[in-house]
Amino acid sequence: MDIKKIEKIVSLCKRRGFIFQSSEIYGGLASTWDYGPLGVEMKRKIKNDWWHNIVTSRDNVVGMDAAILMHPKTWEASGHVENFHDPLVDCKHCKTRYRADHIDLDKPCERCGVKDWTEPRQFNLMFKTAIGPVEDSEEIAYLRPETAQGIFVNFSNVQATSRQKLPFGIAQIGKAFRNEITTGNFLFRTREFEQMELEFFVYPEETGKWLEYWCAERVEWFKQLGITAGKLRLRPHGADELAHYSSACYDVEYEFPFGWSELEGIADRGTFDLDQHNKTSGKKQTYFDPVSNRHIVPAVVEASAGVDRAFLTCLVDAYNEEEVRGEKRVVLKLSPKVAPITCAVFPLVNKAGQPEKALKIVKDIRQEFSAFYDAGGSIGRRYRRQDEAGTPFGVTVDHQTMEDDTVTLRDRDTMEQVRIPADQIRRALRERLSK
Ligand SMILES: [Zn+2]
């Protein structure tokens, strides 16, 4: 596949206002990105769809939103202080830094050709910060490396107040931070990212069944976001890949131009996290089981997805270059569910009452869908701009509209146009979106 495709997508993202390089006017900050007007709408739609799919459409999953800063004991209990390391080496000659497990230390540095390595040393991936004005070891805090722990430390609070019975889940969407040594592939690996995590608490003997259940659910979710099924797969982890807390794990992977890569991890975390917090805090994070009349520590099956990776997947999967009447057309065939703008509205000419009519139509569509008014340039150029923005539908007000109150409705993918009454636009969009 075409590795240049990512570069083309980065360029389209800037051109259309999906993604900008962070602090670009100062030369940018490596591997950090800002979501622009179209990007933020699409990201929000992805998160809303996940939230509906995982939380509000179910009676056994509740949501929460924990603080990013947590008591530092949290990360001792979770094992992150001790275990969340990557082995790191530096080339003494050119000072390039590598992950020791990503290169062959018997070979010279691929950047400068000299073989002069530092000893490998362990590098903790958590971002450290200090709380209060004085930097002192008592006041150390970390930017959370995962949202999951905010859920585990609140297990009893949430269970008691929501009165959920096993099996049930707690879900959260939020930012997490990892001081990765190697980043890259645009939004794929960044040091600041957003997670959509579900911790699903179950009887310890039932983790296998629920792991299977959530694997199937999560692959299905990516498919209904419009992602090509043939480019999605579920890959079991080998024993050497498992995290310190996990006994079984699957990755949902997508075939990117840079190879098959992880979108989401679905893991059996057992009772590790609640056990650790029980031990470290001395406060019981347990569940009173009405069946056996005993307090038990539930096991957990986790489904942890990256918002930015889901976003990148939608873009990569939707990007198409086509030839239309001898001209190149770049089009994002995004699902209408995630497209930032649902319908664009154009007056064919900027006179004869057409702009006024088009603006009235935009106002009406906005009661239900996102809409965008564009009167700038030839109609062909306006269509192309919306094709690049992934806008699935376009309404054009023309001469005939002023006579019989009908408009044309254009489909982004087929480029076919149908004429419908102006007062039926919302109904037509509703029908197409429910497909
Ligand atoms: Zn070097």
- Do 181 and 61 lie in one domain? The reply is yes
**Residue pLDDT, tens place only, 225-235:** 999 999 999 99
- Do 55 and 189 lie in one domain? The reply is yes
- Do 182 and 57 lie in one domain? The reply is yes
User: Which residues are bridge partners to 122 per DSSP?
Assistant: 87
- Do 307 and 350 lie in one domain? The reply is no
- Do 289 and 423 lie in one domain? The reply is no
- Ligand 1 centre distance from Cα of residue 6 (Å): 27
Q: Give the CATH number for residue 377.
A: 3.40.50.800
127 within domain boundaries: no
- Do 367 and 416 lie in one domain? The reply is yes
Q: Give the span between the Cα atoms of 35 and 13, in whole angstroms.
A: 9
* Sequence-separated (6 or more) residues with CB below 8 Å from residue 360: none
- Ligand 1 centre distance from Cα of residue 87 (Å): 17
92 within domain boundaries: no
- Do 294 and 370 lie in one domain? The reply is no
Q: How far apart are the first and last CA of the chain?
A: 30
- Ligand 1 centre distance from Cα of residue 193 (Å): 30
Dump the DSSP string for 64-77: ----SB--THHHHH
pLDDT of residue 276: 95
- Ligand 1 centre distance from Cα of residue 115 (Å): 7
Mean pLDDT for each consecutive 10-residue tract of the chain (435 residues)? Answer: 83 97 93 96 98 98 97 91 85 88 88 91 88 72 95 96 96 95 86 97 95 97 96 90 79 95 96 95 92 95 97 97 92 96 96 95 97 94 96 97 96 96 96 89
* Sequence-separated (6 or more) residues with CB below 8 Å from residue 354: 347, 348, 397, 398, 401, 402
- Do 236 and 148 lie in one domain? The reply is yes
- Could you tell me the CA-to-CA distances from 289 to 15, 199, 294 in Å, in that order? 56, 18, 5
- Do 37 and 179 lie in one domain? The reply is yes
- Ligand 1 centre distance from Cα of residue 95 (Å): 6
Number of domains observed in the structure of the chain: 2
Q: Give the span between the Cα atoms of 115 and 343, in whole angstroms.
A: 58
Where in the sequence is the domain holding 285, given as residue range(s)?
4-71+142-315
Q: Give the span between the Cα atoms of 298 and 285, in whole angstroms.
A: 9
DSSP SS3 for 408: strand
- Ligand 1 centre distance from Cα of residue 101 (Å): 16
- Ligand 1 centre distance from Cα of residue 97 (Å): 9
pLDDT of residue 323: 92
- Do 260 and 407 lie in one domain? The reply is no
- Ligand 1 centre distance from Cα of residue 119 (Å): 14
123 within domain boundaries: no
User: Which residues are bridge partners to 43 per DSSP?
Assistant: none
pLDDT of residue 8: 95
- Ligand 1 centre distance from Cα of residue 40 (Å): 39
- Do 159 and 239 lie in one domain? The reply is yes
Hey, what are 185's tokens? 């592939």
pLDDT of residue 136: 61
- Do 169 and 262 lie in one domain? The reply is yes
Tokens 């650790």, residue located:
276
CB 122 within 8 A of CB 85: yes
Tokens 């590790």, residue located:
272
- Ligand 1 centre distance from Cα of residue 103 (Å): 12
